[in-house]
Amino acid sequence: MATAQKIVDDITAHVGGDRYSSWYAGIASDPEDCLFKRHKVSRKHGRWIYRKADTNQVARNAEDALHRSGFDGGPGGGDAKTKSVYAYKKTLSTSED
């Protein structure tokens, strides 16, 4: 079972020593579409990660925990079926809209 804490642990381990504020975190039904099309993250050269949660609430709890720990982003994304949590390193070519 992918708990919110497990997702947060995986993502923060991936970020390593970077400042969390230099990363953006969110939730999406289709994280690859969101990362590579909406946010314009480079699939090949960008730093990104996503994890699938068991439920929408687990995904929202993980997203909230990441934001509280300093990741950029805001609540309220996705819909009731959204179960993926993603994060990426912000660069001059990414879009945080």
State the pTM of this model.
0.94
Position 76 pLDDT exceeds 80: no
pLDDT in tens, 1-44: 689 999 999 999 999 999 999 999 999 999 999 999 999 999 99
Q: How far apart are CA 30 and CA 85, in angstroms?
A: 10
Q: Could you tell me the pLDDT band of residue 77, with boundaries at 50, 70 and 90?
A: confident
CB 38 within 8 A of CB 88: no
Mean pLDDT of the chain: 94
Position 75 pLDDT exceeds 80: no
